[in-house]
Amino acid sequence: MKDYWLAKLISSVQEVDSRKRLQKSVFLLQLKRCPLKCDYLLHYYGPYSFELAGLMDQLDGADIIEESPEQLGTGVVRYTSRITDKGSRVLNSFEKTERGREVRDEITRFIPRFQKLNGEDLWVLELAATAGYYYEDDWQDAKTQTATFKRIRINDTKLRTAIELAKEFVNTR
Amino acid sequence: MPEKLFRDPLYDYIAVDKDSWLLKLINCPEVQRLRYIKQLGLSHFTYPGSTHSRFSHSLGVYYLMTQCLEQVERTHGTSVFGAGEKEALLAAALLHDIGHGPFSHATESFFDDHVARAVSIITNCGSSVNKVLSEVDEELPGKVASLVAKKPLKGLPQPHLWQKSLISSQLDMDRLDYLRRDSLASGAEYGNFDWFRILHTMALKKSPPNQPQKPTLLVWPDKTKYAIEEYIFARFYMYQSVYYHHTTRAFEQLLLKILNLGRELASQQDHRDFKQHILPPLRPFLTSGQTLQLNDFLYLTDDVVMAQVAVWNKDRNPVLSDLARRLLFRTGLGWTSIQGTEMENPDKIIAIRNYLDQQGKDHNYYLLKDSAKASVYNPYRSVSAREEQSSVTSIILCDEFYDGGLAEISEVPDLQRLKAITAEKSSPVMRYYFPKEHERQIKKLLS
């Protein structure tokens, strides 16, 4: 029910302002055992999941979410995603079924965290997800690897904030 | 130096120096085991010729890597490779699939991620491949593991991105081999494309300054664009007609269901004798409290799984024996497809479940669900990937008339045909499989 869980998360906010934000937010939620369990790789901007991107394509194709592209000045396209009217109806009607209630309960506790991440500084989110990806058992090591990978100073203020954010998701893994 | 020649249906002969460490690597038990792992899972249930192994594919990837390295050297000179990098690439090509469980991808959700296991075998001092690699250079196992791994490995230097993309990207040696090999073996002729041009025109190019990390990229000249287009179409057709064929997927889902039911029964206290009939290589996966040892994994092959299914064919649990029989004799599965996601069709699914339960066929075991991955519909991720996807996995063309000298394949104006299969977003289709004898009634329920 990955498609449902993803649609449910997106429906909990007015919009997600970029695919990057969605990718990083879901990655951090998965560190907290969010049921989506998408496979992630490390890309330039941090953890990236082809599977999640594919799910977004499917939800878009099914007209459950709507993605609006915006051409940025740098030659990059940014996609804003939001739930559609049809998507809201599908979610509501599915949640009235027994199966719908079961799977809803699995995602409900992650919604407040997703909403919080949706308001987070995007750069901090990117750094936090990257640090979470590198973390094994040593935060200093994850911080160093993130700084090297992102080519920033180890004592960068936003990196420090990002590590604290990542800790919220990794500590109780 | 005398050569060991492997006859290969795609490349005629694959030659390996007889005294070389590469031949020693090929002869390691972890690589030889791949002879007993079918490349295409249960695809031979649909295409009887698809019985080729991960071993022949691995040799093919190794061969393509030798050709690729020669091409890169011809174009850029030997200095493009650092110490040990060529050896690492050749070994990674040969070893990239050694972590596959029985029936390759078909059972990956049961036997765990094959890439992680490959890395674990390569870095395990007790493995034969590790010993062979370490004899060449003690840092070689780490270099090979870093090339194969999905995730950066702690304490090991990261390989160049262009080298990593030769092992895993949207146009890598793995795909160049398997599309044509699977096409040849299955007899489905959709997988052909001009691989020779793709391989012999690749080059390296510094990325533009706006790339976050300015890596060296793997690129192709404009003149190769049609060969690459053909390659992407080949991938699309192979997914549609071979990899996600409904019969193959039905029996692969059935095999997974059998294995999961076996695990469930093994966990029940009143089934003590059940555990005794589990074949040793499968025990770590079916019973709790047993850790998988490297030595056990060497014996975990397709044949062992099918032997276990044959044993379960006589099990006293009627569901397990029935499912085992259906798999062994490739019989008794019907199917239907439902347009849209599962959440869009709860009523239809509940109707099927209720019907099966009423017929004495517990839907938890007799209703198999299969959602095709997005890659079936999208053989290459392009436009939407511009936001995130790095050039590590994109296919990049390089020519002076492109803006900045580079163009991602989907942005090339002459290749509009590609958009039909890469940019279209279609509603997903869910497939459901169930006992064949109930097919007519279930289809009637849904109509």
Q: How far is CA B54 from CA B33, B36, B40, B189, in A?
A: 9, 8, 9, 20
pLDDT in tens, B168-195: 988 999 999 999 999 999 999 888 999 9
Q: Does the distance separating the beta carbons of B346 and A57 come in below 8 Å? A: no
Cβ atoms A52, A79 nearer than 8 A: no
Lowest mean pLDDT among B99-113, B142-156, B373-387: B373-387
Name residues of chain A where pLDDT drops below 70: 73-76, 171-173
**CB contact B295 to A (< 8 Å):** no
Residue of A nearest to B424 (CA): A61
The predicted structure's pLDDT at residue B104 = 93
Q: Which residues pair with A80 in a beta bridge?
A: A68
B425: nearest CB among A60, A93, A97: A60
Q: What is the pLDDT of residue B383?
A: 42
Is residue B120 scored above 50 in pLDDT?
A: yes
Higher pLDDT, A46 or B245: B245
Q: With contacts defined as CB-CB under 8 Å, which chain A residues touch B346?
A: 93-94, 97, 99-100
Flag whether pLDDT at B345 surpasses 60: yes
pLDDT in tens, B406-435: 888 887 888 878 877 776 667 788 899 999
What's the pLDDT at B408? 82
To 5 degrees, how large is the angle CA B155–CA B160–CA B161?
110
Flag if A61 and B426 touch (Cβ within 8 Å). Answer: yes
Residue B213 confidence (pLDDT): 58
Q: Which letter does DSSP use for residue B402 in this model?
A: S
What are B6-52's pLDDT values in tens digits? 999 999 999 999 889 999 999 999 999 999 999 999 999 999 999 99
- Those residues whose C-beta lies under 8 Å from the C-beta of residue B171, and which sit 6 or more positions away, are B198, B218, B228, B231, B395
**According to the model, what pLDDT value does residue A128 have?**
97
Q: Which of A45, A130, A147, A131 is nearest to B211 (CA)?
A: A45
Q: Supply the ipTM of this predicted assembly.
A: 0.75
- Do residues B435 and B334 lie in contact, with contact meaning Cβ atoms separated by under 8 Å? yes
Give B5's contacts (C-beta < 8 A, 6+ positions apart). B13, B14, B15
| A68 phi, psi to nearest 5 deg | -110, 120
Q: Does residue B379 have a pLDDT over 70?
A: no
Asked if A48 and A126 count as a contact pair (C-beta separation under 8 A), the reply is: no
pLDDT score for B375: 56
- For residue B260, what pLDDT is reported? 95
Please name the member of A97, A133, A145 whose beta carbon is closest to the beta carbon of B346: A97
| From A76, A91, A151, residue closest to B386, measured CB to CB | A76
Arithmetic mean of pLDDT over chain B: 89
Mean pLDDT of B293-300: 88
Please state whether beta strands B396-398 and B216-221 pair in parallel, antiparallel, or not at all (unpaired).
Answer: parallel
> Which residues on B lie below 8 Å from A57 (Cβ)?
374, 377-378, 384, 425
Chain B residues 108-127 with CB within 8 Å of chain A: none
DSSP string, B89-151: HHHHHHHTTTT--TTGGGGHHHH--HHHHHHHHHH-TTSHHHHHHHHH-TTHHHHHHHHH-SS
- Cβ contact, residue pair B346, A63, below 8 Å: no
Pair type for strands B12-17 and B3-8: antiparallel
B428 interfaces chain A, CB cutoff of 8 Å: yes
A19/B388 touch (CB, cutoff 8 Å), yes or no:
yes
Of B152, B386, B425, which has the smallest distance from its Cβ to A61's Cβ? B425
Select the residue from A4, A44, A51 to test the B interface by mutation, using most B Cβ atoms within 10 A.
Answer: A44
pLDDT band at B391 (very low <50, low <70, confident <90, very high): very low
User: What does DSSP say about strands B333-339 and A46-48: parallel, antiparallel, or unpaired?
Assistant: unpaired
Per-residue confidence (pLDDT) for residue A8, from 0 to 100: 97
- Mean pLDDT within B265-293: 84
B341 with A3: Cβ contact below 8 A: yes
> Buried b / exposed e across A84-94, counting CB within 10 Å, b at 16+?
beebeebbeeb
Segments in A109-173 forming alpha helices (H): 111-118, 122-134, 139-150, 157-170
- The encoded tokens of residue A131 equal 């640090």
Q: How many residues are there in chain A?
A: 173
Contacts of B329 (CB under 8 A, 6+ apart): none
* Closest B-chain CA to A104: B343
| 335-354 of B, contacting A, C-beta below 8 A | 340-344, 346-347, 349-350
Alpha-carbon distance A104 to A101, whole Å? 5
The verdict on a CB contact (< 8 Å) between B373 and A48 is: no
In chain B the domains, ranked by start, together with CATH numbers, are: 3-187 (1.10.3210.10), 245-324 (no CATH)
What residues in B contact A51, CB-CB < 8 Å?
373-374
3-state secondary structure of B59: helix
What is the structure's pLDDT at B384? Answer: 43
What is the end-to-end Cα distance of chain A in Å, rounded?
A: 22
**Contact criterion met (CB < 8 Å) for B387 and A20:** yes
Question: Which residue in the set A4, A43, A75 is minimally distant from B389, CB to CB?
Answer: A43
Q: What is the pLDDT of residue A156?
A: 94
Contact status, residue B184 vs residue B238, Cβ threshold 8 Å: no
B290 C-beta neighbours (distance < 10 Å), count: 12
CB B91 within 8 A of CB B144: yes
Residues of B in contact with A63 (CB under 8 A): 427
CB contact under 8 A, A79 and B387: yes
CB contact under 8 A, B152 and A134: yes
